[in-house]
Structure 1
Amino acid sequence: MRTDSSPLSETKKCVNHGCGSTFTEGTNSDKACRYHPMAPIFHETIKRWPCCDSKSDDFDEFLRIAGCTVGFHRTKTNGTNLSQAQQPSSDCPLKSSDITSQSALPAATEAASAVSPSNTAARSSKPTFQNESSTAKQQVEIIEEPDDPLDAVIEPGAKCLHSFCSAVFSGDSSRTEPCVYHPGIAVFYEGSKYWSCCRPRAGEFEEFLKIPGCKTGRHKFLKSGAPTDPNFVECRRDYYQLGDQMCVCVYGKNMNPKSSSVTYCTQSVKIDIQFLNGKTYSAFIPLFSQIVPEACTHEWLPTKLEIKMKKCHPGPWTKLESEEPISTN
């Protein structure tokens, strides 16, 4: 029997930033790949694609930023060993109106299928990034939070907080099923990317995402100290800085602004949100530095609460929250 070994039917993996999908020569075309032509940049808490200046403080949201350029799939970086029909000059940037949020790196999903018992996507939902300049010469202390109580009230659809795991809570079986994750932090230093908790290193961002978790335990769906009120819901929160402003976003739908509030103090902010379905969310955030309460503003939008706090002293904050006790005055 003759086996078809035509190069046109051979399955290959695209290495364009933000793609990672598989393709064949027969399906490759100048519009087959949607990708980022430049490698991502991580600085402090901001993750950015420099080619289109799309950025996010949240790693999960960053991975969903769609590519800004369309062109041929590639099998090697720097334009070498391109597929037969590929012409790099035909690649063209997309208009900003054409860019929508999508799962940007499906290549990471394949790594998870080999290590995750529930075959969940292999990418971190909320990892912490740190430049090695502050950790390269000393061992990084790994502090793990306690497991969720087995009788804890967990909202269906809640995401696992462990790095490298994106499992969601689907019932009591999710409380005890194994979770493969990284307990450490992600470190990016001089082109090398690795997890502080294990040895494997990667030079490329996509390869870093494929480093399998080094520890097996239980999923963690609740932050430590989260209220046990059955009406309480966890809301995703992130932040970014704009000059003399520190901006915090709390994500959720159907918020009721009339019964919700945001209270500003000199070095803290308290958030109380009531939802139309009776659910609640509250958070007290001790801030890294002082703000000007009377100059702070917030806006209730359809899918989030956006808070803009005026910094008392100019200059960037290295983080949002203070680790020291803060007065509420």
Structure 2
Amino acid sequence: MEKLRCQRIGCNATFTYDDNPDGSCIYHDSGPIFHDGMKEWSCCKQRSHDFSLFLEIPGCKAGKHTTEKPVFKKPAPNPRVPISSQTLDKNEAPKEACPRCRQGFFCSDHGSQAKSVDPKASNGTPSESKSVLQEVPAPPVKKIVDVNQPQICKNKGCGQTFKERDNHNTACNYHPGPAIFHDRMRGWKCCDIYVKEFDEFMSIPPCTKGWHNADPVS
């Protein structure tokens, strides 16, 4: 019997209707909340700043697999409290207090602000010489994996189980990224597609083919 892909958020497993016991699916039953660079599941309050780690947060509900895509109710937006100049610490730079700068976005108010100068580099010694003396870290050691061992691909948008013996340069369909969240829009910079709803974002088809990768950090 043909295997089907579960559509619940947080599951991504395959199943058949004859083998779908209750409790086999672990998933999130409420949508995410994005606020000031933080990603949070509204159903279990688990959160992360990193989008890849956010998607790896295990589900908090158990049930049966399904092919029906979930429909999430829009959570109430978190109230934004305006920051007045009187509430800022006198020693805190305006750029450090700007929410856009803290999230890594370009800010027209602080984009041209001069960077702070290292006082140790102002004694006539070029600051570049300091970086030359720093020890270069050794490259990470690649794990040795059995070619027949099942692994889960961690490339964004894939999540399939694979074996290294079957891996090749077009085996994986994925998004090289990065994921973009800005002004209530969600999308992928790699394929320049943006949507408003999170379930639509998760359904954006991958735009790149390559090797499956179970350990993208290394």
Which bin holds the TM-score, normalised by the shorter protein? 0.3 to 0.5
| Structure with the larger strand share | 1
TM-score (norm 1): 0.31
TM-score (norm 2): 0.44
Q: With a CA cutoff of 8 Å and minimum separation of 6, indicate the structure with the bigger relative contact order.
A: 2
